[in-house]
Amino acid sequence: MDFIEQIDQYDWDTVQAGIYGKTAQDVEIALHKSGRLDIGDFMALVSPSALPYLEPMAELSRRYTRQRFGNTIQFYIPLYLTNSCINHCIYCGFNHGNDIRRIILTDEQILREAAAIKAIGDFQHILLVTGENPREAGADYMENAIRLVKPQFASISLEVQPLKEEEYKQLSNAGLNAVYCYQETYNKARYKTYHPKGMKSKFDHRLDAFDRMGRAGVHKIGLGVLIGLEDWRTDVTMMATHLRYLQKTYWQSKYSISFPRMRPHEGEEFRPNVIMSDKELAQLIFACRIFDRDVEMTLSTRESSAFRDNMTTLGITSLSAGSKTDPGGYAVYKQELEQFAVNDDRTPAEVVEAVRRQGCEVVWKDWDLSLQ
């Protein structure tokens, strides 16, 4: 049974009621469990009943992170290749309906951007990001971009439109290391409200992308929900269920979780339906680490410098730094259009210094294709 069939067996309201029905006793059981936690334990740790337990959760999260990952933080940087998109996501600056200049970087511009990135830090992990335009910026365009930047970076990741299984294999053969794809929300009944038109409006097609990645043998698969659309506790519980399914089914792959909270963007203003506090985001990070000691966890420049610094030793394993969220933002087109507004605008050197003040070391490179 694939995950599309599994998720159809879950009733959103029932899962939500189960989370909000968790008690302090359920939280304490989860915190003192010696073996692997189950989804019921995760529900307790993200429930409102767990908020009084943030200190013991933080300490447990810190201990598990250091046992598994040591005192290290991996650095990566995004390179936006295009803001061209056929989708109409109502919360995104790349929305097809926004009257903006659309850019698809050329080979020469990609190389200029890569050179500019290398000039601001010793980045070895690069994340290539696109809007969804399969005709003009599809798998062949991505393969070309991977081959262009491959000589300068040890690890190449993608955050792009869902692809076919054979396309994931094609890109892996070209040097792809990881794929990040956010379901945005697992609330199937509400999904199309936020994605009314375009390929992204197809809930099942997007959800099945993770199985296609797994079957294609993608080395690392990244999950996440867009916090602000639906009840975050229910969404992340569905994400945790999805993670368990993927780990069991495609055990050869590694996994990563991201925590994108909604940020301001270009175009018609979208007001989040749910506001998550910093305390609640911290709770979620701790819960994810306690639930899974091996999963990598990423915090982007969407978050404030203070929050990112505080989370450095408490569960997060990967940070972006010096990010530009517009295509060509490092050298070619200064501030043409950001997908979202960056919150932590410190230079890479400043973030490095902040990480070291927390007693951690920055890892620029921990992956080499020659060892694959």
Percent of the chain predicted with pLDDT > 70: 93
**What is the structure's pLDDT at 342?**
73
176: number of CA atoms within 13 Å, CB side?
Answer: 30
Q: How many residues does the chain have?
A: 372
Compute the distance between CA of residue 232 and CA of residue 279 in angstroms, rounded to an integer.
13
Residue 227's nearest CA partner among 236, 219, 216 is 236
How far is the CA of 293 from the CAs of 16, 38, 250, in angstroms?
25, 13, 18
**C-alpha 209 chain-centroid distance:** 15
| pLDDT tens profile 3-36 | 888 888 889 999 999 999 999 999 999 999 988 9
Compute the distance between CA of residue 311 and CA of residue 197 in angstroms, rounded to an integer.
37
Is the predicted pLDDT of residue 300 greater than 70, yes or no? yes
**What is the structure's pLDDT at 370?**
44
Dihedral angle sign, alpha carbons of residues 314, 318, 321, 325: negative
Lowest mean pLDDT among 107-121, 218-232, 251-265: 251-265
Kindly provide the residue ranges of all beta strands, DSSP E only, lying in the chain, ordered along the sequence: 72-82, 125-130, 155-159, 178-180, 220-223, 254-258, 296-299, 318-320, 361-363
Contact status, residue 171 vs residue 142, Cβ threshold 8 Å: yes
Compute the distance between CA of residue 98 and CA of residue 116 in angstroms, rounded to an integer.
28
3-state secondary structure of 222: strand
Torsion of CA 92, 311, 219, 364, to 10 degrees: 100
- Per-position b or e across 150-163, b if 16+ CB within 10 A of its CB: beebbbbbbbbbbb
Question: Phi and psi for 255 in degrees, rounded to 5?
Answer: -135, 150
Lowest mean pLDDT among 29-33, 69-73, 75-79, 337-341: 337-341
* Average pLDDT of every residue of the chain: 92
Q: What are the percentages of helix, strand and coil residues in the chain, rounded to 5?
A: 45, 15, 40
Compute the distance between CA of residue 130 and CA of residue 146 in angstroms, rounded to an integer.
13
Contact status, residue 244 vs residue 41, Cβ threshold 8 Å: no
Residue 323's nearest CA partner among 73, 77, 74 is 77
How far is the CA of 309 from the CAs of 297, 357, 360, in angstroms?
14, 9, 11
Where residue 20 falls (left for φ over 0; alpha for ψ -120 to 50; beta otherwise) is alpha
- Tokens standing for 197? 């038109």
Contact status, residue 88 vs residue 196, Cβ threshold 8 Å: yes
Domain 3-367: what homologous superfamily?
A: Aldolase class I (3.20.20.70)
For range 318-347, the mean pLDDT? 79
Residue 343 pLDDT grade (very low, low, confident, very high; cuts 50, 70, 90): confident
Residue 98 pLDDT grade (very low, low, confident, very high; cuts 50, 70, 90): confident
Contact status, residue 121 vs residue 322, Cβ threshold 8 Å: yes
- Tokens standing for 139? 């798998």
Residue 230 pLDDT grade (very low, low, confident, very high; cuts 50, 70, 90): very high
Residue 340's nearest CA partner among 58, 108, 30, 131 is 131
- For the chain, the structural domain boundaries read 3-367
Dihedral angle sign, alpha carbons of residues 121, 82, 332, 270: negative
